[in-house]
């Protein structure tokens, strides 16, 4: 099999039409607590809304199959595929499409965000096997991109030849340290069918994924980007977001367009883990742990674009005004979609947010014709 680019395949934008979304029902006690019911309810709310406009596939284990079936709408299709955690963005396939509307998947090497260098857990064999298993279940051909280490949260595509990434993540010591920046760019272009990789320096402060792109910046349309922003000079995010803005202001996309950048402020003060929340976790040996007062990587950029909606994290309580502002800003970015607020603190406590737990499957040719 050639590379996807040689075969005529490329990664569509998330805002392009979907066939569906892949999710994983949460159960890992080191991410979701000894009793993961709050996270399961949040995942269910997201799956239920998405199932109104596209097919949702939920990966389940032997332990979660019955509870997932009881909680989820009947339209959600369960896939009996075991995983180590619930980050479908990073462990499900990256889906690509060709000009004829055929769909294929990509299985990257997954090493729990850093392997022996700085990975978050030591046993990730099921996660690493999940992408190929999903492709098999959906009868979709799969490219094996190994030994290249990558997660879906580390890339954003505009669907027109541009891929957006962060240096902090892709150049981290636990990913592909044997490769140069130019070599990584070339590999991404071949596997994602792209013409240009735009690198920004930083993600969100204290993001344990080594600062994934999907928490700091996202394409909302060709040539248009939302960027997480901070106006407090005492906050580490202040300089990080400005450095990203400076790069994006100078860069152009694969078609030579200047980026139109919308600033999407992070919560006005850090969102931190409480002592009570810390007491709920049950960490496995070798798993990254949390401490009371630890800052979480809260960002409204970690939204997910469905066919007729945008699901936006909300942190509530003292962050209610921040929540409302994010909804208003994103309403302007997506005038034709319903902006759906999702209470997401319990997802953030796991280490990510709505975008991290969802992975889009592009619409195939027949579905595209129906949508038009």
DSSP secondary structure, 3-38, as one string: -TTTTTEE---TTS-EEEEEEE----HHHH-SSTHH
d(CA 273, CA 137): 37
pLDDT at 372 exceeding the cut of 60: no
Q: Cα 5 to the chain's mean position, in Å?
A: 23
Phi, psi angle pair for 283, to nearest 5°: -85, 140
pLDDT at 1: 65
* Residue 90: CB atoms within 10 Å: 27
Q: Active-site residues: which are they? A: 356
pLDDT at 68 exceeding the cut of 60: yes
pLDDT at 365: 75
Tokens representing 237?
């995010």
Q: CB–CB of 196/9 below 8 Å?
A: no
Please report, for the chain, how many H helices and E strands are present, in that order. Answer: 13, 17
Closest CA to 363 of 76, 47, 9, 20: 20
Q: CB–CB of 227/181 below 8 Å?
A: no
- pTM, to two decimals: 0.97
pLDDT at 368: 66
pLDDT at 369: 65
pLDDT digit string, tens, across residues 73-119: 999 999 999 999 999 999 999 999 999 999 999 999 999 999 999 99
- Say which range, 104-108, 238-242, 276-280, has the weakest mean pLDDT: 276-280
pLDDT digit string, tens, across residues 159-201: 999 999 999 999 999 999 999 999 999 999 999 999 999 999 9
Domain ranges of the chain: 9-366
Average pLDDT over residues 133-142: 98
Architecture of domain 9-366: 5-stranded Propeller (3.75)
Tokens representing 116?
């022996």
Scanning the structure block, which residue is given the tokens 């949702």? Answer: 56
Average pLDDT over residues 207-227: 98
């Amino acid at each position: 099999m050639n590379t996807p680019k040689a075969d005529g395949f490329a990664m569509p934008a998330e805002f392009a039409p979907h066939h569906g979304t892949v999710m994983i029902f949460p159960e890992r006690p080191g991410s979701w607590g000894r009793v993961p019911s709050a996270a399961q309810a949040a995942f269910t709310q997201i799956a239920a809304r998405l199932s109104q406009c596209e097919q949702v596939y939920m990966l389940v284990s032997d332990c979660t199959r019955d509870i997932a079936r009881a909680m989820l709408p009947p339209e959600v299709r369960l896939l009996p595929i075991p995983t180590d955690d619930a980050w479908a963005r990073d462990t499900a396939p990256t889906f690509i499409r060709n000009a004829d509307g055929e769909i294929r998947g990509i299985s990257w090497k997954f090493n729990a965000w850093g392997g022996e260098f700085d990975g978050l857990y030591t046993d990730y064999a099921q996660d690493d096997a999940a992408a190929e298993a999903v492709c098999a279940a959906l009868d979709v051909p799969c490219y094996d991109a190994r030994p290249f280490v990558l997660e879906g949260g580390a890339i954003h595509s505009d669907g027109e030849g541009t891929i957006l990434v962060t240096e902090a993540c892709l150049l981290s010591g636990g990913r592909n340290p044997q490769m140069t920046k130019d070599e990584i760019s070339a590999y991404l272009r071949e596997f994602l069918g792209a013409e240009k990789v735009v690198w920004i320096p930083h993600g969100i402060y204290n993001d344990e994924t080594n600062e994934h792109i999907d928490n700091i910046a996202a394409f909302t349309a060709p040539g248009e980007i939302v960027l997480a922003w901070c106006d407090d000079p005492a906050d580490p995010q202040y300089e990080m977001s400005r450095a990203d803005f400076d790069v994006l202001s100078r860069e152009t996309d694969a078609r030579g367009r200047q980026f139109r950048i919308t600033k999407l402020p992070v919560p006005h003060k850090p969102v931190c883990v409480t002592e009570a929340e810390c007491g709920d976790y049950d960490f496995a040996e070798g798993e990254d742990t949390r401490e009371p007062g630890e800052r979480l990587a809260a960002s409204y950029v970690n939204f997910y674009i469905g066919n007729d909606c945008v699901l936006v994290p909300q942190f509530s309580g003292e962050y209610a005004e921040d929540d409302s502002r994010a909804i208003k800003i994103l309403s302007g970015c997506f005038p034709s979609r319903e902006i759906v607020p999702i209470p997401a603190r319990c997802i953030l406590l796991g280490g990510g947010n709505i975008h991290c737990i969802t992975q889009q499957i592009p619409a195939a040719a027949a579905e595209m014709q129906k949508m038009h």
